[in-house]
Amino acid sequence: MKTAEMMNTYPAEINLDRDLLARTVDTLVACAQACTACADACLSEEMVAELRKCIRTNLDCADICSTTARVLSRHTGYDANLTRAQLQACAQACKSCGDECEQHAGHHEHCRVCAEACRACEQACNELLAAIA
C-alpha cells in the first residue's frame, strides 16, 4: 500500500514515527475489509440467525477501523487526546469483534480469518497508543 509513501510527503513535522503510523493505518484498513467481508459471509450462512451478534460486531468494528484510519491520516491541527481516545475505542472494538468471531471460528473459516485480523489490529492500536503516551 502507498500509506507510508503518502505519509512521507507530509510537509510538516509529525510527532509520531511515520512508519509505525503507516503500518497501523494499513492494519486498520485490512481489518475493516476483513470485518466487512466476514459480515457478508455470515449473511450467506444457513444459520444466519445465530450469527446476528457476529454480523453486528463485524460492521461496528469495520466502521470504527475505517474512521480510525482516516483520523490517523490527518495531521494538521493534530489533537493527541482525540487520537488516543479513537485508538482506545478501536482497540476495544477489535477485541470485541475478535472475541465474537473466535466463538464461530470452528464452524466458519471467514470468522477465523476475521478474528486474526482483529487481533492484529488490536495489537497495532495498542502499540501506537504506547507511542503516543
Whether the per-residue pLDDT at 7 is higher than 60: the answer is yes
Q: Is residue 12 part of a domain?
A: no
Range of the domain at 43: 17-132
**pLDDT tier for residue 11 given thresholds of 50, 70 and 90:** confident
Tens digits of per-residue pLDDT, 109-130?
A: 999 999 999 999 999 999 999 9
Number of structural domains the chain divides into: 1
Helices 80-104 and 52-72, packing angle to 10 deg: 150
Please report, for the domain that includes residue 62, its CATH number. Answer: 1.20.1270.360
Q: Is residue 5 part of a domain?
A: no
Percentage of residues in the chain having pLDDT higher than 70: 98
Question: Are the C-beta atoms of residues 65 and 96 closer than 8 Å to each other?
Answer: no
Whether the per-residue pLDDT at 1 is higher than 70: the answer is no
Q: Is residue 63 part of a domain?
A: yes
pTM score above 0.85: yes
How confident is the prediction for the chain on average, in pLDDT?
94
Q: What residue has cell string 511515520?
A: 18
CA distance 3 to 128: 16
55: alpha, beta or left? (left if phi > 0; alpha if psi -120 to 50): alpha
